[in-house]
A and B are shown apart, each in its own frame.
Chain A
Amino acid sequence: MDGVTAKPDPLIHPITRLSICGLLAAGADWVEFAALRDAAGVSDSVLSKQSRVLEDAGYLEVRKGAVGRRPRTWFRLTPEGRRATQGHLAWLAQLEEAVSASTQDTLSMSLASISIRDASET
């Protein structure tokens, strides 16, 4: 993610919107409503509502069409939405690193205290 500033985006942070943006940023150009709904594991109404919020914010582009009589809705991220998603995911990745580092520190401190205790007991 070259040139991406890691920063949280309050609009993307709610889990459903993060799922929508994260899935659309994964590499596909356009993703159809049903494919996105199934991958995100949400209901039709939740996806409709959250995608409208993202569309109003200018993060999402929506294209409506039809195959025969069946309406089809396609989604893709706008450049602004892609930047915001990449920044938010980079921020989450930094959090992940920080948490794993702090867990590692805690673990090594615990191991050190155990070995000191063992040494003092013997």
Chain B
Amino acid sequence: MRDSASDPAALEPLELLRVQRSRLADRMRPPWWYLPGTAIVWALFFVGPFASRSFASPASVSTWAIVIPIVGVCFALQWGMTRAIGIKAGPRPLRLLRDGLFYYRPGRPAGIAIAVVCFAALGAEASLIRHGLPVAAIAVAVLAVAANVAAMQALQLAVRRDLRDGGWTA
């Protein structure tokens, strides 16, 4: 075992590990169907206010009829992506305690953006439907789907960056 601080060859493993982590992160690119899949999930999510029984529309359905397909598609997407890329990265904390200080992990802004878009768009849609402006509500839903798909892309990018930087070991 090399144990000398003056031996520059001892650093080769760290440099090699950086290259290998970069290779692993590059592999973590979602397959082509992942993006349309996330768009379908968010479309189902933002259709909720239109189909909800609380607005007593003729086409109203139970909340479960919306929630169950969303959860099902989410699981199918995650399962398919894990099998396609060979890497499973589950939910991760958005902040990390290191040397007594909290550090925000990459992906936090995207996570916050998704939550904000969800609350704002659902509120706006409900309000517009109540005021008899369904076309405006549809426009809000379309914009919200686009925003959240973009935020999901940013989140994926941040997870890849975190993997490249070493995650917990950085």
Interface residues of A (CB under 8 A from B): 1-2, 8, 10, 13, 15, 18-19, 22-23, 25-36, 38-41, 67, 74, 82, 85-86, 89, 92-93, 95-96, 98-99, 102-103
Tally B residues with Cβ within 8 Å of A.
38
Between-chain CB contacts (< 8 Å), 21 pairs: A2-B99, A15-B13, A18-B17, A25-B167, A26-B21, A27-B168, A29-B88, A29-B90, A31-B24, A31-B88, A35-B85, A38-B23, A39-B23, A41-B23, A74-B88, A89-B14, A89-B17, A89-B166, A99-B8, A99-B10, A102-B6
Interfacial chain B residues near A74, Cβ < 8 Å? 88
Is A86 a contact of B169 with CB atoms below 8 Å?
A: yes
Closest to A74 in B: B88
Is B167 a contact of A26 with CB atoms below 8 Å?
A: yes
Closest to A101 in B: B5
Per-residue A-contact encoding for B53-93, CB less than 8 Å = 1, 0 else: 00000000000000000000000000000110111111010
Interfacial chain A residues near B85, Cβ < 8 Å? 35
Is B98 a contact of A31 with CB atoms below 8 Å?
A: no
Q: How far is the CB of A90 from chain B (nearest CB, A)?
A: 8
State in angstroms the CA–CA spacing of A92 and B10 once bound together: 8
Is B6 a contact of A1 with CB atoms below 8 Å?
A: no
Contact of A95 among B11, B16, B27, B28 (CB under 8 A): B11
B115 close to A (CB within 8 Å): no
State in angstroms the CA–CA spacing of A89 and B18 once bound together: 12
Q: How far is the CB of B81 from chain A (nearest CB, A)?
A: 12
Contact of B169 among A36, A39, A40, A89 (CB under 8 A): A89
With A18-B13, A85-B169, A96-B14 known to touch, is A35 a contact of B100 (CB < 8 Å)?
no
Closest to A96 in B: B11
Q: How far is the CB of B162 from chain A (nearest CB, A)?
A: 5
Contact of B89 among A22, A27, A32, A82 (CB under 8 A): A27
Closest to B25 in A: A26
Interfacial chain A residues near B8, Cβ < 8 Å? 99, 103
Is B86 a contact of A19 with CB atoms below 8 Å?
A: no
